[in-house]
Structure 1
Amino acid sequence: MENEKTPIQLPFLLNAVLVLVGLIAFFFVLDIGAGILIPLVFSFIFSLFLYPLCRKLEGYKIPRALAILICLLLVIAVLSLVFWMIYENILSFSADLPKMQERGQELVTSLQKFIEETFQLTSEGQIEWLRQNLRSFVNTGGQMLNGVINTTTNFLAQIFLIPVYTFFILLYRHVFKGFLDRVFDVEHHEKVGRILVQIETVIQKYIVGLITVVSIIAVLNVIGLMSIGIKHAVFFGVFAAFLTIIPYIGIFIGSLLPILYALAMTDSLFYPVAVLIWFQIVQVLEGNVITPNIVGSQVSINPLVAMLALLLGGSLWGIAGMIIFVPLTAMLKVVLDNIPALSPYGFLLSEGENKVPKFKSNLFLKKLLFWEKKKTE
């Protein structure tokens, strides 16, 4: 009988170095390949979301390519309707811009008088201070403007690529399945299939839950702004609700515009303060009640991991990374949970569910057999 080959055991330090080098290379590829990977990841997520509808249409004897086109056209039609409504509200909001400019000049004048009376700095001195700091401000503003223009241009280019990628991913999904069947041994096909189904479920629940959360937040924002007496409440409320897709900071960013509007268009501090308080209440409800109960425990990961994913995604891929790194982390958790050797890392990403992890390592089995033998002696 031939001796079985024992696996090579590498020293712990060498293993740690290899893992570290692998992580550095992985994030380096994510960074330099952002322009290609961002639309691909978005397309993969949308493909998982649209797959059940596409499969149902194909069940009615509709050709696969036509079924995919119908799904994409439905999504594009819904998004076009939403953006058209936002555009109409923007036109209505723009009518108040001259009045806002006049009110802004009054606020600047009042601020100058306050500084002059409080810090004994005349208007000429304030202008001189501004002139001295204007150059650095312009340079910084120019860099930010260039960054915004580049980001916007890249984002628009990627938007047009997403439906194309989504179409081909759904069209050739049988190729990807065949690839996985050839990569993994037959005895692992059932587990791979289970992982894919769970990932599909996670993505579908995440997107449906996100749409539901955005809708609820929009209604709450609009009701609150109307109750306070802010004009264009629908525009401000829906705009802030859409920013909810950026976890943790989206609602805060969305609240800045109505606060500034209330500050410029009203004569009392009650209105901007009331808007700030209302949006803070909505943010607390969204983070602690609405999102956890609607999105579900199968999608949720613990807040610390979500925050790290948010920061990591933002540093690598900007706003797009902040949006998609959280569901990607949830998908990673599904994979880790289904691999016994990696299940502790999946548990680390979770919120600490009261479930006993199933360890099936050889060491665990040896210990179990040892104690069973002790009992019988």
Structure 2
Amino acid sequence: MQNKINNQWYVLALVILSGYLVYLLSPILTPFAVGALFAYLFDPLADKLEEWKLNRTLSVTVVFFVISLLVFAVLLLLIPALERQISSFIRNLPLYFEWLRENLSPWLERTFGIERDLFDINELTQLLKGHWEQAGGIAQSLLSGVTKSGLVIVNWLMNFLLIPVVTFYLLRDWDIITSRVSELIPRPYYRTVSTIAADANSVLSAFLRGQLSVMLALGTIYTIGLWVVGIELSLLIGMGAGLISFVPYLGTIVGLIAGVIAALVQFGDINHIFYVLIVFGIGQLLEGFVLTPLLVGDRIGLHPVAVIFAVLAGGQLFGFVGVLLGLPLAAVIMVLLRHGHERYMGSKLYGKENEISLTNKEESVRHQEGNPSDGKGEL
């Protein structure tokens, strides 16, 4: 008993020490955390290529080439287009606010008695435009931030160059690393730790590989649909709605409201509102009947509230590294809580064993009453 208590204190001290080391090393852990995330996401693809008789290095090279294409496509295509749409949104803010003032404000006043001049819309518009013009766009703000110091430039470039290198080597040796880690687990706890690790991997993969795929697919569907309708902010609204769709119905509601307002301001007719409703209706049907069953299945992922809390808490404690580590830690904690709950439900503290014992006794008594052993039962 004493050894068990000492082992528990040893594990607790190890966890605290690991967290403190992550806190101290968080400024240099970003490329390693990003590389580990990419390696975890794309390891199944490399394993699949190995099943097609390719060696590990060649499989990783093919996967790494695919990752590079995806990253460059995002950098070269999505970011400039997204910046143009954000700039257009900032320029058209007076139109959106004017529409809200003419349509929404009277309804709020009639229904809830809210005053029309509750906030100064013009002042808010000028404030947003001033900040955006001062920043000069996403690219310029990034460049102005990194050019203030030569050391900042070197650090930023080193992190950027380290990410592909770390990703390649981690992905190539991922199976070896996981095997070596499993060998470090004490044998008396191996079965329990392996079960918890497998459950945590199932939960995390259900969210990262499954839910992220659903989010990107929905963002693509919404973007293409709104672009076909003719909405100028199709990429901004579509991808925004897709990326926050991990919270059930939130992405649809936000995207639908933004799409309807954009259609009203841009076209001012009912037809385009109807088209926007059709786009998001098709997206919901595809999510419910195709995307979620195909990409996520019946695996239990992280609860949306747990995801939000993990990301915010990790970012508050450890910065960007905490954002990346928050989800894996949340998956492990959720699995530990689930296993702890199961053990508690079957423990003496909960009284389950006594309940089972009493139930067995009652069944035994009923069995004896229905099948007497003295031979005086029914003929």
Name the count of aligned residue pairs. 335
Distance in 1 (CA, whole Å) between partners of 2:318 and 2:279 is 27
Contact 2:214 2:292 (8 Å CA) reproduced: no
Letter in 1 for 2:243: L
State the partner residue of 2:340.
Answer: 344
Q: Structure 2 unaligned segments of length 5 or more: list them.
A: 103-114, 147-154, 366-379
State the partner residue of 2:180.
Answer: 178
**What do the CA deviations read for 1:127-186 (whole angstroms, capped 9, x no partner)?**
xx96xxx99x9899989x99x7499869987565433223222334424522431x3233
Q: Percent identity?
A: 17
CA positional deviation for 1:88:
7.5
State the partner residue of 2:244.
Answer: 244
Letter in 2 for 1:344: G
Letter in 2 for 1:163: P
Distance in 2 (CA, whole Å) between partners of 1:278 and 1:204 is 31
State the partner residue of 1:315.
Answer: 316
Distance in 1 (CA, whole Å) between partners of 2:169 and 2:18 is 26
Distance in 1 (CA, whole Å) between partners of 2:271 and 2:156 is 38
> For structure 1, which segment, 22-31 or 306-315, has the greater mean C-alpha deviation from structure 2 after superposition?
22-31
The answer to whether the aligner puts 1:169 opposite 2:170 as a matched pair is yes
State the partner residue of 2:32.
Answer: 40
Distance in 2 (CA, whole Å) between partners of 1:50 and 1:256 is 35
The answer to whether the aligner puts 1:235 opposite 2:235 as a matched pair is yes
> For structure 1, which segment, 287-296 or 236-245, has the greater mean C-alpha deviation from structure 2 after superposition?
287-296
CA positional deviation for 1:214:
2.4
Distance 1:368 1:311, change over 3 A: same
Distance 1:149 1:272, change over 3 A: farther
Q: Structure 1 unaligned segments of length 5 or more: list them.
A: 114-118, 338-342, 348-355
Contact 1:53 1:71 (8 Å CA) reproduced: yes
Distance 1:366 1:233, change over 3 A: closer
- Per the normalisation by structure 2, the TM-score is 0.56
Distance 1:362 1:54, change over 3 A: farther
Distance in 2 (CA, whole Å) between partners of 1:138 and 1:88 is 21
Distance 1:26 1:194, change over 3 A: closer
CA positional deviation for 1:36:
3.7
CA RMSD of aligned residues (A): 6.2
CA positional deviation for 1:82:
5.1
State the partner residue of 1:214.
Answer: 215
The answer to whether the aligner puts 1:53 opposite 2:49 as a matched pair is no
Distance in 2 (CA, whole Å) between partners of 1:213 and 1:25 is 37
- Per the normalisation by structure 1, the TM-score is 0.56
Which SS does the other structure have where 1:300 is aligned? coil
State the partner residue of 1:78.
Answer: 70
Which SS does the other structure have where 2:244 is aligned? helix
The answer to whether the aligner puts 1:305 opposite 2:297 as a matched pair is no
Contact 1:30 1:316 (8 Å CA) reproduced: no
Distance in 2 (CA, whole Å) between partners of 1:111 and 1:250 is 21
Contact 1:243 1:251 (8 Å CA) reproduced: no
Distance in 2 (CA, whole Å) between partners of 1:197 and 1:266 is 52
Alignment of 1:1-377 (within 5 A): 6-7=2-3, 31-59=23-51, 62-81=54-73, 84-86=76-78, 89=81, 97=88, 101=91, 149=142, 160-173=161-174, 174-181=176-183, 183-218=184-219, 220-222=221-223, 225=226, 229-232=229-232, 235-236=235-236, 238-241=238-241, 243-244=243-244, 262=263, 265-266=266-267, 295-316=296-317, 325-335=326-336, 337=338, 343-344=339-340, 359=346
> For structure 1, which segment, 257-266 or 359-368, has the greater mean C-alpha deviation from structure 2 after superposition?
359-368
